[in-house]
Structure 1
Amino acid sequence: MADMEQPEEIQNQTEEIPVEESEVTDEAPTVEEQLQSAISERDENQDRFLRSQAELDNVRKRHQKEMELLRQYAAAPFIQDLLPALDNLKRAVDAAESADQVGDLKQGVEMVAKQLLDVLSKHNVTPIDALGKPFDPNLHEALQQMPSDEHPPMTVIQELEQGFILNDRVVRPTKVIVSSGPAEG
């Protein structure tokens, strides 16, 4: 069987087709060039991935910081609504002091005012101590200046409305009267 000859059609199919060398070498990249291209593409993808990761981390941190600030100062509107009631209670205490037989009223109103101050304190709200202190525009709102022989210029001589701080931020400045120095003769 080995001596059997194949028909000419089959022999023609198995013969190699001649190819010119110029066709193969100019267009097909070498294995080394393919490897360098793959390494370069890998490095670019790795760089893009690392940059995306860093940007995602920055967005997460920024979002976390914004949420913390939002939580920290979320009570500010509540406090601003509560402060006028505290002011009215203080005015009632002042009015009760000038009346004769209102000791019980005064005591009750003082208890309510203390209770409100305790509620504010529980929520990290502290009153601004202004009386006798130098005027600070970050903490005080000057409504008037008055001459005073007892106080140096720009010293708070009277509080008209107490201010408050939530954590480290002024919720409402203290409304004050400030000394303009000694009265001119």
Structure 2
Amino acid sequence: MADDLNEKLKAAAADDKVQHQAQSDNDAKDARIEELTGQLARAMADLQNFKRRNEDEKASFVKFANAELLKIILPILDNLDRSVTHLPEELKDNEWTKGMLQIHNDLLKTFEKLGIKKIKTVGEKLNPKMHEALMAGPGEKDVIVEEFEPGYTLFDDVIKVAKVKVGDGLPTDRQAPKK
């Protein structure tokens, strides 16, 4: 009976050792699973960040390429604007002229859809990032009194500065001198 009891104790101890080893193995596996899950989560986050950066870089490239193209096209629009401004009165009802004016309007609408906007000038305070002062003359100091050439932005980035005349603080002919 003592031998039987010893055998049972040895078997129980062996079972305990096996159970302890199995628990230890399970704990190690759980830790490894947790480690690999963390690595996977970081890898997925890195992939998402890479995709986002890649999309941002593509968008930036397209925007830059568009800006370069627009810098070439905008002087043509400026010339068309000048021709519309100086259109003789007797030609305004001409059918060909009306067609050209429609093309001009369509071009302006297309540029607006592409994110291109004219920079505001006359009456605005001079902003060196958007305006290039070519002259100064009578008028409120540092306020734009005349536009020589329009400037443009593309999605809030200046792609062409406006060329302007600014006030020098001296009164205009219409203003009474300050006393």
* Aligned AA (2:75): P
2:137 aligns with 147
Q: TM-score with structure 1 length normalisation?
A: 0.63
1:75 aligns with 66
Q: Displacement of 1:39 after TM fit?
A: 2.4
Aligned counterpart for 2:25 among listed residues 9, 34, 48: 34
Q: How many residues align?
A: 149
Gap change, CA 1:179 and 1:59, over 3 Å in 2: same
- 2:48 is the alignment partner of 1:60: no
- 2:168 is the alignment partner of 1:180: yes
- SS of the residue 1:54 aligns to: helix
1:167 aligns with 155
* Aligned AA (1:35): N
How many angstroms apart in 2 are the aligned matches of 1:90 and 1:155?
Answer: 23
How many angstroms apart in 1 are the aligned matches of 2:91 and 2:155?
Answer: 35
Q: Is the 8 A contact 1:79 1:120 kept in 2?
A: no
Gap change, CA 1:116 and 1:51, over 3 Å in 2: closer
From the CA coordinates, give the structure whose radius of gyration is larger: 1
Listed as ranges, the gaps of 5+ residues in structure 1 are 1-28
RMSD: 3.3
> Per-residue CA shift, 1:11-53, capped at 9, x if unaligned?
xxxxxxxxxxxxxxxxxx9334333332222222122111111
> Per-residue CA shift, 1:35-79, capped at 9, x if unaligned?
333222222212211111111122222223333444556532232
* Aligned AA (1:124): G
* Aligned AA (1:176): V
1:129 aligns with 120
* Aligned AA (1:104): L
* Structure (1 or 2) with the greater helix fraction: 2
Listed as ranges, the gaps of 5+ residues in structure 2 are 1-19, 172-176
How many angstroms apart in 2 are the aligned matches of 1:162 and 1:91?
Answer: 10
How many angstroms apart in 2 are the aligned matches of 1:142 and 1:93?
Answer: 24
Q: Is the 8 A contact 2:133 2:164 kept in 1?
A: yes
Give % identity.
25
Q: Displacement of 1:162 after TM fit?
A: 0.3
How many angstroms apart in 1 are the aligned matches of 2:119 and 2:163?
Answer: 10
How many angstroms apart in 2 are the aligned matches of 1:123 and 1:177?
Answer: 29
